[in-house]
Amino acid sequence: MKIKAAVLNAPNTPFSIETLDLAEPQVGEVRVKIVAAGVCHSDYHLLTGTTQHPLPVVCGHEGAGVVEAVGAGVSRVQVGDHVTLSWTPDCGECYYCRKGKPNLCETYTEPIWAGTMLDGTTRVSRAGEPIYLYCGLGAFSEYVVVPEQSCVPIRKDIPLKVASLVGCAVATGVGAVIYTADVNPGETVVVFGCGGVGLNIIQGASLAGARTIIAVDVNADKMPLAREFGATHTLISDGDNDSIIAQIRELTDGRGADYAFEAVGITGLQELSLAVVRPGGTAVFAGLSAMGSSTNLPGALLTREEKTVKGSYYGTVNPARDFPLFIDLYIAGKLNFESLISKEYRLEEINEAFEAMLTGSVARGVIVFD
């Protein structure tokens, strides 16, 4: 079938809206009509070339839609199901899946980052040549064919444009707090970066019962929303790290925070995150850094002050378990999804959506399909 999608043909070039060919789902695969797809900074790393990926590629890894067709052997979903897409499908049988870490599934990680299905091929093509899919999804497209493990069925009383955000921003942010870090009631939290992931870290910390939640960003316009999501204090960074450290210590009884979350993927902020946690505290890196980047973490400080550094990949979530849970919490009024959506865009406006993301004028832009 013919589909319309946003294609990245080369780094540092705009998305091109093109008509592509989509093959039928094969064994264990599902075709989904995409209703909405979130615009995330991780996709921008492909535009700049800081994330290496086979090209041409359809980006978009945060989406939701309706199942239209299933291949042989599919049992997780059926035609008509509403689904949120997961960019960490899991086999359920490998070492990491058996260890309760399906987000690190060794069966799917390699082909997903190669932009293909498990067999190394793609279901999208242009004039007979393969088009790759970012995170194995390619949600900036009218339709996708994905592994059934990438489809998480959800209740139908939530708007799909809202449900789309669960597949990345919500899972990565809320999951980092409750699963990666396991923040406890009464503890203190600092969040560097108040974009889509950062706001969800903030509301995850609020959900966990954190006593003090300090939001830090360079953009003062983001602070009202940070407070809406649960920040108790907001700090504007002007590049003076010593001042930020001093202010955070003043707000945390002079010791530093129990947890600091870096939600941007900037190495300097990762180093600052370690500096602001108390002895025995934990710095969590939830933002995706550029490939090949490195972070200077002082070993002597880690040893003498028993500080911990943890990576958080997809919030350490189990999508099949946690996506429906997060949606139930939204329905119950305990998580806020709707305020994340600052603006809706048509697919043809995708380059405009990324420009708005870079200026910091939106929490999350969402591409909405007819």
Marked catalytic residue, from 59, 105, 168, 194: 168
Marked catalytic residue, from 45, 53, 82, 233: 45
Q: Is 168's pLDDT higher than 90?
A: yes
Q: Kindly give the pairing relationship between strand 364-368 and strand 29-39.
A: antiparallel
Largest Cα span, the chain: 63
> What does the alpha-carbon distance between residue 202 and residue 192 come to, in Å, rounded to a whole number?
10
Q: What is the mean pLDDT of residues 80-100?
A: 96
pLDDT value at position 36?
A: 98
Q: What is the mean pLDDT of residues 187-201?
A: 97
pLDDT value at position 295?
A: 87
Q: Is 105's pLDDT higher than 80?
A: yes
Q: Which amino acid is at 370?
A: D
Q: Is 23's pLDDT higher than 90?
A: yes
> What does the alpha-carbon distance between residue 317 and residue 175 come to, in Å, rounded to a whole number?
6
40 is catalytic: yes
pLDDT value at position 38?
A: 95
Structural tokens at position 305: 């002050």
Crossing angle (nearest 10°) for helices 41-48 and 350-359: 100
Structural tokens at position 138: 């390619």
pLDDT value at position 140?
A: 98
pLDDT tens readout for residues 257-302: 999 999 998 999 999 999 999 999 999 999 988 777 788 888 888 9
pLDDT value at position 361?
A: 78
**DSSP character at residue 221:** G
Report, in angstroms and rounded to the nearest whole number, the Rg of the chain calculated over CA atoms: 20
Q: Are 104 and 93 in contact (CB under 8 A)?
A: no
Structure-model confidence comparison of residues 370 and 138, the more confident one: 138
45 is catalytic: yes
pLDDT tens readout for residues 324-341: 999 999 999 999 999 999
Residue identified by tokens 């994340």 is 340
Q: Is 98's pLDDT higher than 80?
A: yes
pLDDT value at position 49?
A: 86
- Confidence class for position 363, pLDDT limits 50, 70, 90: confident
233 is catalytic: no
61 is catalytic: yes
pLDDT tens readout for residues 108-166: 988 988 999 988 999 999 999 999 999 999 999 999 999 999 999 999 999 999 999 99
Marked catalytic residue, from 40, 59, 97, 151: 40
Marked catalytic residue, from 42, 164, 273, 289: 42
> In this structure, what are the phi and psi dihedrals at residue 70, rounded to the nearest 5 degrees?
-130, 145
Q: For residue 11, which of 39, 53, 71, 40 has the smallest C-alpha distance?
A: 53
> What does the alpha-carbon distance between residue 70 and residue 277 come to, in Å, rounded to a whole number?
48
> What does the alpha-carbon distance between residue 103 and residue 253 come to, in Å, rounded to a whole number?
36
361 is catalytic: no
Marked catalytic residue, from 53, 61, 82, 233: 61
> What does the alpha-carbon distance between residue 209 and residue 165 come to, in Å, rounded to a whole number?
23
pLDDT value at position 293?
A: 79
Q: For residue 286, which of 178, 209, 164, 201 has the smallest C-alpha distance?
A: 201
